[in-house]
């Protein structure tokens, strides 16, 4: 690695790096920044709505809260392990898939992940746009477009701006949730909701899967936001900071959503933002809460837009042989993703809750095998030593299409199909389990073990020593 005495590069508000390696002299920040980032990201209206699904779709309050917490912790392990690799590798998350899938083959998970960004962004833009519209007394469609423009600006500015916004969002979010929980406890009998316990295994497993899906879905981009940390930053500290931040933030938001849905009943669906704010206050304070709801979505939407441009750029660069993206091209990529999300949000209907639930669970079937392959590769196969030149060379050691790994990924998805339970598709095992979804467990364990077996058979084609990510190659 480069010497620690290398001159520190000047810092700019506008990020100059893109999908390329981050040299040591441009590294900055600490592990604590991962805590504030993921705490702020999760204290938002979409997490509230996601938590509400556990009750809206049949669960009781008590067991839904326990199931959600179990899912948060299990899913955050996958998420935290991905975050911990960022500083050691110094690259965006998805470009590293070229090591496993090949330079062209990595397009397969990249396209699927891009769909993930668009889906999350569309749902978040719809809800945040409603909040903006309430604050400014404008139509919902105008609020959606305005929110999209703010997301476009912040995502174009890049990494440092995202972390700065997240720090503010975490403070604002904590204050707002303390107030909202206080108002909720003061005005409603929460004990009565908690005492109404009817354990149904399928509903309990659904709440676990819902939270696990929420956490695992961060896997494709979590290391994008730790790659600027100094390479010697403790992996354990990064893991704990990221996983603890995401668990605390998401569990707080989803707990509020569970209570909100239980109190609202059928009145919740289609009026999510309005009802959540009404639980906290009315009048001027309600306007402040609407503003907080909108602001809370900025960090997540900016993350989605920022990582979508890197995924899109990685797809294009695979066929163009380039390793960097200009600021102008970054703007174009971000503009395209934000525009699609805004258009979907404008066409959004009041059936958003049910559709979003189905989207999360079904998409998890395609993200989980990728996560298993990525983690197995880091811990059991290639580690964090990559050949940077080969990442952009289809004729290099990673090749164009790594068919054994692509086949492993497809097998991972096929393994999950019988266990999936969603609005798009429900497998026979899931039906036998009363529609409980455990596909993510099967996908993680099955695909991970299969990849390790396949990689052993391929070992003869892999040089015994991979080139480390040297700063001189950046």
DSSP per-residue string spanning 281-295:
--HHHHHHHHHHHHH
* CA-to-CA dists, residue 445 to 367, 413, 442, angstroms: 13, 12, 6
| Average pLDDT by stretches of 10, the chain with 474 residues | 48 78 89 92 84 84 94 94 90 88 92 82 80 82 89 88 86 84 81 84 88 89 91 94 95 90 69 66 68 76 85 85 78 88 76 61 81 90 81 88 94 92 82 83 93 76 47 38
With contact defined as beta carbons under 8 Å apart, do 22 and 228 qualify? yes
In the chain, % helix, strand, coil (3-state, to 5) comes to 75, 0, 25
Residue 318 neighbours by CB under 8 Å, 6+ apart = 98, 103, 104, 106, 107, 394
Are 202 and 433 a contacting pair, CB within 8 Å? yes
For 171, residues 6+ apart whose C-beta sits below 8 A from its C-beta are none
Q: How far is it, in rounded angstroms, from Cα 12 to Cα 8? A: 12
What is the token pair recorded at 88?
């050691």
Give pLDDT, residue 464.
Answer: 47
CB count in 10 Å sphere of residue 236: 11
Question: Is the pTM of the predicted complex or chain greater than 0.75?
Answer: yes
Count of Cβ atoms closer than 10 Å to residue 29 Cβ: 18
Q: Which residue, chain included where needed, has tokens 């590069």?
A: 9
Residue 8: helix, strand or coil by DSSP?
coil
Residue 223, strand partner residues: none
Would you put residue 44 in left (φ > 0), alpha (ψ -120 to 50) or beta?
beta
Distance (Å, rounded) from C-alpha 75 to C-alpha 354? 22
Q: Which residues contact 190 (CB under 8 A, 6 or more apart)?
A: 184, 259
Among the listed residues 383, 105, 92, 112, the one whose alpha carbon sits nearest the alpha carbon of residue 223: 92
Domains and CATH numbers, the chain: 25-473 (1.10.4160.10)
First to last CA, the chain: 12
| pLDDT value at residue 3 | 40
Beta bridge partners of 421: 426
Which residues are CB-contacts of 324 (< 8 A; sequence separation ≥ 6)?
17, 18, 19, 20
Residue 135 CB contacts under 8 Å (≥ 6 apart), including other chains: 287, 290, 291, 294
Q: What is the DSSP letter of 11?
A: P
CA angle 381, 385, 388 (to 5 degrees): 120
Phi, psi of 138 (to 5 degrees): -125, 175
Please enumerate in sequence order all residues whose Cβ is within 8 A of that of 183, keeping only pairs 6 or more positions apart, or say none.
Answer: 279, 280, 281
Block residue for tokens 């298993």: 372
Cα(172)–Cα(239) distance, rounded to whole angstroms? 24
> What pLDDT is attached to residue 350?
53
Tokens representing 96 are: 């590293």
Beta-ladder partners of 438: none
Rounded distance between C-alpha atoms, residue 471 and residue 454, angstroms: 31
């Amino acid at each position: 690695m480069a010497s620690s005495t290398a001159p520190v590069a000047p810092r700019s508000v506008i990020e100059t790096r893109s999908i390329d390696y981050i040299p040591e002299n441009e590294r900055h920040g600490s592990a604590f920044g991962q805590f504030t980032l993921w705490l702020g990201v999760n204290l938002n209206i979409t997490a509230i709505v996601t938590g509400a699904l556990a009750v809206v779709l049949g669960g009781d309050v008590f067991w839904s809260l326990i199931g959600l917490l179990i899912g948060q912790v299990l899913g955050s392990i996958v998420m935290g392990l991905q975050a911990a690799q960022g500083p050691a590798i110094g690259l965006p998350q998805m470009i590293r898939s070229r090591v496993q899938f090949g330079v062209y083959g990595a397009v397969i998970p990249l396209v699927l992940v891009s769909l993930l960004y668009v889906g999350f962004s569309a749902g978040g833009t719809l809800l945040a746009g409603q909040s903006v519209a309430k604050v400014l007394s404008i139509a919902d469609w105008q609020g959606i477009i305005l929110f999209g423009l703010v997301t476009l600006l912040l995502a174009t500015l890049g990494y440092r701006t995202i972390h700065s916004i997240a720090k503010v969002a975490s403070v604002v979010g904590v204050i707002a949730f303390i107030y909202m929980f206080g108002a909720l406890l003061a005005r409603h009998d929460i004990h009565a909701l908690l005492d109404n316990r009817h354990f149904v295994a399928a509903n309990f497993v659904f709440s676990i899967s819902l939270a696990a899906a929420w956490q695992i879905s961060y896997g494709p981009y979590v290391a994008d936001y730790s790659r600027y940390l100094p390479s010697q930053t403790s992996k354990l500290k990064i893991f704990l900071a990221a996983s603890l931040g995401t668990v605390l933030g998401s569990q707080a938001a989803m707990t509020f959503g569970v209570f909100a849905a239980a109190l609202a009943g059928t009145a919740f669906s289609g009026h999510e933002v309005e009802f959540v704010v009404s639980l906290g206050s009315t009048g001027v304070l309600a306007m402040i809460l609407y503003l907080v709801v909108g602001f809370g979505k900025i960090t997540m939407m900016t993350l989605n837009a920022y990582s979508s441009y890197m995924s899109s750029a990685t797809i294009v660069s695979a066929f163009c042989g380039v390793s960097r993206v200009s600021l102008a091209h970054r703007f174009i990529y971000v503009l395209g993703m934000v525009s699609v999300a805004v258009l979907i949000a404008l066409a959004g209907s009041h059936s958003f809750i049910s559709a979003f639930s189905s989207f999360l669970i079904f998409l998890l079937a395609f993200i989980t095998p990728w996560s298993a392959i990525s983690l197995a590769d880091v811990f059991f196969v290639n580690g964090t030593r990559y050949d940077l030149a080969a990442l952009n060379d289809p004729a290099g050691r990673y090749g164009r299409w790594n068919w054994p790994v692509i086949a492993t990924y497809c097998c991972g998805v096929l393994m999950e199909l019988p266990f999936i339970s969603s609005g798009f598709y429900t497998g026979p095992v899931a039906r036998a389990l009363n529609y409980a979804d455990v596909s993510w467990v099967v996908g993680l364990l099955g695909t991970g073990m299969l990849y390790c077996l396949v990689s052993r058979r391929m070992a003869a084609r892999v040089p015994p020593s991979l080139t480390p990510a040297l700063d001189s190659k950046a």
